[in-house]
Amino acid sequence: MNSKIDLYIIDAGNSRIKLGVCIKCEIVSLSSFNSLALLKKELEPNIPIALSSVLNSNFKEDFTNVQNPVFLVSHQVKLPFKINYLTPSTLGIDRICNVAAISKINPFTPRLVIDIGTCIKFDFLNAENEYEGGSISPGLLLRFKALNLFTNNLPLYEASNDLSLIGNSTESAIQSGVQNGMKSEIIGLILEYKAKYTDLNVFVTGGDAHYFDLAQKNVIFADENLTLKGILEIYLLNV
């Protein structure tokens, strides 16, 4: 056993499972896995696990057999912010973790987290550290799949880093429509929030955030590991 490791942080999302290794309450290394079996091979026994999962209950139950104490993040544990959401039991655990990660950053100001992954999730934390809610819409892959699934002739394409405004082929036209449309949606919502909250701080995270140059064109803080940092924040508050 590596005696220096004092905590594993696991973020089980819809697309992948991320593992953070902590030493002295700091995340020192990160890795991603496509399956639970591969993840479990990396875990040393007896080291605590802080787990956040948006997957089904079977995934969580699989951790009852590991030789590690498991802390499961939920809306019922102690959180570093107040929830004003009307249905907290249906609130995504990843959204809770993202808000926890920014709860101590620039306090007494309104803050917005944008998670660009399987879905686009906007989550708003007011100046009193109260979580108000946000919005959810389809992410890149869901939009590409929808065009393919609900039409007879449109193929399934993937996102491109070499994007043009005017697509000169079916592939580039779909990429332009999906990616530029999604970018306009995100920027448009940011502008609406900023019009209402002039001192707003904006944070961007998620596996598909790199397709959009939001941080370069706006005063936005980008952090792809925001969810993991939120898990750590909640764990330390409770344990």
**pLDDT digit string, tens, across residues 99-136:** 999 999 999 999 999 999 999 999 999 999 999 999 99
For position 203, which CATH number holds? 3.30.420.40
Contact 162, 146 (CB under 8 A): no
Boundaries of domain holding 66? 7-72
Q: What is the pLDDT of residues 126-161, one digit of tens each?
A: 999 999 999 999 999 999 999 999 999 999 999 999
User: Alpha helix (H) ranges present in the chain?
Assistant: 36-41, 57-61, 93-102, 140-149, 170-175, 181-196, 214-217, 226-238
Residue 89 and residue 13 share a domain: no
Average pLDDT (193-204) is 95
Residue 67: the pLDDT is 79
The residues carrying an active-site annotation are 94
Residue 164 in any domain: the answer is no
Last residue of a domain, one of 72, 93, 123: 72
Residues 67 and 178 placed together within one structural domain of the fold: no
Q: Are 177 and 167 in contact (CB under 8 A)?
A: yes
Contact (CB, 8 A) for 54 and 93: yes
Domain count, the chain: 2
103/210 same-domain check:
yes
Domain for residue 149, yes or no? no
